[in-house]
Amino acid sequence: MAAVILPRSLAALVPGVEHRTTASGATVGEIIATLDARWPGLADRLCDAGPSIRQHINIFVDGERTSSLGAPVAPDATVHVIPAIAGGSEATATQRDVVTWDDLDGLVASLAAQVAGEYDAMLAITRGGMVPAGMLAYRLGIRDILVAAVAYYDEHGTPGPAPTFLQFPADPLLRGRRILLVDEVWDSGTTIHAVSERVRQAGGIPTTAVLHYKPARSVVPGVPDHFAAATDAWVVYPFKAGR
């Protein structure tokens, strides 16, 4: 069955809806029908009378946006349902998700519940991943924390040609070890994907965990192993001084 991630806002509209679930179906429409049978009224929130996907709803199958209920869904696919932000579905500087410290604690708690398991070390990606990594390490009881200093975006949020590694753990610290990679956001995914590849090249076993995942903006293969929330917005974290 396909993995399905639904917006948390649906819980207030359709009783019992779960944020993460699974559903059977060969198309997006069949997946929605399966979910509607489980939680009556859900389909009306996602589809109009056409039926077609409502304009304010974005659906991604393995990171690819689709507007068709007939879009195929493989049995091992991941389907994300994300409400469009007012003013359009694409993120701009004016479409912001402002995260408070209390929000941040909730996101980290959600992530901790997902990633709970056995890891030999945590690898925090600078700079955005350092605060979430510290908070997550306390919740998971991880004390061996490594740091990957990587520069990809400038101070204005403009990406460079490729991630630049300023500092990275030596291979013996990674070889044969289960490494939990932590960053604040999977935007294009370029940075954390590059870090994952370097961990693999060193003989480590990486698991990726981020606070926010932006499926519409990802340009790399795959999706995060774990994420607390999906969004298309520009996320403003309390530890970034309003940026």
pLDDT (tens digit, 9 = 90+) per residue, 104-160?
998 898 889 888 888 999 999 999 999 999 999 999 999 999 999 999 877 666 777
Quick one: what percent of the chain has pLDDT higher than 90? 54
Residues 25-55 pLDDT 10s: 999 999 999 999 999 999 999 999 989 998 8
What is the reported pLDDT for 156? 66
What is the reported pLDDT for 12? 77
CB 96 within 8 A of CB 142: no
What is the reported pLDDT for 89? 34
Residues 82-100 pLDDT 10s: 765 433 333 344 467 788 8
Quick one: what percent of the chain has pLDDT higher than 70? 92
Label the pairing between strands 57-61 and 64-66. Answer: antiparallel
What is the reported pLDDT for 91? 39
The mean of the pLDDT values for the chain is 88
Highest averaged pLDDT of the listed ranges 1-5, 191-195, 231-235: 191-195
What is the reported pLDDT for 157? 67
Domain boundaries defined on the chain:
2-83, 97-240
pLDDT over 90 at 78, yes or no: no
What is the reported pLDDT for 75? 93
pLDDT over 80 at 224, yes or no: yes
Report the predicted TM-score, pTM, of the whole model to 2 decimal places: 0.67
What is the reported pLDDT for 56? 78
What is the reported pLDDT for 58? 80
What is the reported pLDDT for 243? 58
What is the reported pLDDT for 37? 96
Domain 2-83, what fold?
A: Ubiquitin-like (UB roll) (3.10.20)
Label the pairing between strands 159-167 and 96-98. Answer: unpaired
In this structure, what DSSP letter does residue 99 have?
P
pLDDT over 70 at 204, yes or no: yes
Domain 97-240 part of CATH 1.10.3720.10? no
